[in-house]
Chains A and B, each alone.
Chain A
Amino acid sequence: MGNGFLARGRWWPAVTISIALAAISFYLLLVLSNWFYLGLADTVYFFSQPRMWQRFWLTVWTSTISMSLSLVIGIPAGYALSRFSFPCRNLFASIVDLPIVVSPAVIGAFLFGITTRFPFDLISEHYNIYIGRNVYGVLLVQFTVTCAFCARLMKASFDMIPPKFELVSRSLGASNFRTFFKVVLPMAKNGILASMIVVWARAAAEWEGLMLFVGASEGETDIMPFAIYLDWNGGMMGWVTSMTIVCILMAVTAMAAMRLIGGKSSVW
């Protein structure tokens, strides 16, 4: 200790590791405090309620649909962002990224602004539904925040594949599309699967947009994160904490599954 400890810089690993442990314990406490608050008996009670599972499945299917929509747009868009170069590419990419970097509450306000206008008012007239007051509003919010996110993740997955494989494939006479579907996509498969899970989890975590944009119908639009806010306003702490636990479990499971597939959440 003392002199040698300081002089040889041993303090540095000790400091970094203790800071890391402090941060980890803060986050663990943050995540686990719900269980301590709720207690075992209540956890069992709330998890056995049908309302909980009905909301869970609502969250699952809405985020699955918005994830598939985002994938349809995101895979080609991510490929274009990764492989092609064009003037003002950074500016272009920044604007594409805007919906994910600004506060989601802003997205809610902006969606609230556009849904009474041109393309949306026609749809709502034709189908005699109020866009933004039902589950389509939920899908629209989720799609808005996830499609750019998806393109971003796809770009990262495609960036990891060296372009020389495409070159080889094309020089052997394969067409561009054939190359994309037979060479690039299979190589990016793991990355796409991993990104898919992250996009799904991100869609399932969206609620701020819903708050300004979609009203709440019991069992219709109250996907879990939104229901947390609504029940918080209804004073139902039991529901709120138990749904928070479900949300945390969903996020942790999704991230663990992604890691299992071999995606790296942090390195791109």
Chain B
Amino acid sequence: MMQKISVLLGILILCAPITALSGDQKALLFHAGVGQRSSLNEIKAVWEERHPDQKVNFSYKGSGYFIADITRSRQGDLFMPGEEFYLLQAKERGFVENYNPETDIPAYFVTVIITPKGNPANITKIEDFARPGVRVGLGNPKSCAVGIWHEKTFKKAGIWEQVQKNAVLSAKCIPELGNAAQHRAIDATIVWSTTAVLYLRDVEIIPIEHQYRGIIRLPVATLKFARFSEEAEQLKAFILSPEARRIFHKHAYSVDPRIPVDEQSFCLDGTTDRDMGHLVNAARAVKDESFPVTAETVGDLIDEVERQRKTLRAGT
């Protein structure tokens, strides 16, 4: 008797995955940079609620890995790397179904300086990175886009040589820099505003002056070998819609499509100043309970501030 029951149980357990196969949901495969995870998960929740027949499977990886992955596997419906560079390269190889650089940018990253809580090395501007003894975290330009921006920014400021001497960490992906700042392994680094907003309680955020403030285009495109190209197009249109842009804005992306930039993509005027001000206020608000949290002080970052205020250690 016992044997029969255990055999039956065994068969049930073995069959469980096969029954799960029989659902006829359309599963989209979405290659996305690991930095976009929080906002894209929110978009996915909204999308799947509206389209119960569809399911979005994300493949979050570091930006450099996508091209290798797509070249070999030839799978995927949508593509949203952390920098336009990767998308242009994929387009050149003919993987991209349609991409219009004018319109297909749902959001922008903005560079900011982050330091550990209390700003131990007293960093206030780009030039401070060159001071001897400052422990700087740099990105690896081969594997993450922020590495290119470090080089670009410090070269423009003319302090690249000194900053390189100060480097103590070479990050493979941007969250590594944020974590290092959070755990006080480095004294300062430059990251996207969207990364900085994850560590409001444990880091200080310092906006960069206009001439060194980078604006990074975050593109989205559909892929040629999409299994559900129609649905992929729809999802892409949704990501470009104002509703999805608002979700991006809640995660500290800049979504204003008219940010004037020079040919190196450095910011020209104060269009992003408001977002930066909100970000700095958000960092203060999480650390200081008495700071007022309103749409006036922190803008769309209210949800983020509320969530990080709830716990001593960040969670969602």
Contact = CB atoms under 8 A, between A and B. Distances in A.
Interface string B35-73: 001100100100000000000111111000000000011
Contacts of A217: 56-58
B182 interface: yes
Contacts of B41: 218
Given A130-B29, A130-B57, A42 B17 contact: no
B305 interface: no
Contact of A64 (B13, B31, B173): B13
B311 interface: yes
24 contacts: A39-B313, A42-B315, A45-B315, A46-B311, A69-B14, A129-B21, A133-B59, A133-B75, A136-B17, A215-B31, A215-B57, A215-B58, A218-B41, A232-B179, A235-B178, A235-B182, A235-B195, A236-B198, A237-B202, A237-B313, A238-B312, A238-B314, A238-B315, A242-B315
A64 B14 CA distance: 10
Given A45-B311, A116-B73, A215-B60, A235 B29 contact: no
Contact of B60 (A127, A128, A134, A216): A216
A239 B17 CA distance: 28
A242 B315 CA distance: 10
B58 A218 contact: yes
Given A42-B311, A235-B182, 19 more contacts: A38-B312, A39-B312, A42-B313, A61-B16, A116-B73, A215-B57, A215-B60, A217-B57, A218-B44, A233-B34, A234-B34, A234-B198, A235-B175, A236-B315, A236-B316, A237-B182, A237-B313, A238-B311, A238-B312
A171 interface: no
Interface of B: 10, 13-14, 16-17, 20-21, 27, 29, 31, 34, 37-38, 41, 44, 56-61, 72-75, 173, 175-176, 178-179, 182, 195, 198-199, 202, 227, 310-316
B37 A230 contact: yes
A91 interface: no
A123 to B, nearest CB: 10
A241 B313 contact: yes
Contacts of A38: 312-313
Contacts of A110: none
Nearest to A64: B13
Contacts of B310: 45
A218 to B, nearest CB: 5
Interface residues of A, number: 41
Interface of A: 37-39, 41-42, 45-46, 49, 51, 61, 64-65, 68-69, 115-116, 127-130, 133-136, 139, 215-218, 220, 230, 232-239, 241-242
A38 B311 CA distance: 9
Contacts of A237: 182, 202, 313-314
The 5 closest A-B pairs by CB, nearest first: A215-B59, A235-B198, A238-B313, A238-B315, A233-B175
Contacts of B17: 65, 135-136, 139
A4 B179 CA distance: 54
B29 to A, nearest CB: 5
Contacts of A41: 311-312
Nearest to B59: A215
A130 B29 CA distance: 8
Contacts of A230: 34, 37, 60
Contacts of B56: 217
Given A133-B75, A215-B57, A230-B60, A68 B37 contact: no
A100 to B, nearest CB: 23
B183 to A, nearest CB: 9
B210 to A, nearest CB: 27
A239 B57 CA distance: 22
Contacts of A235: 175, 178-179, 182, 195, 198-199, 314
Contacts of A133: 29, 57, 59, 75
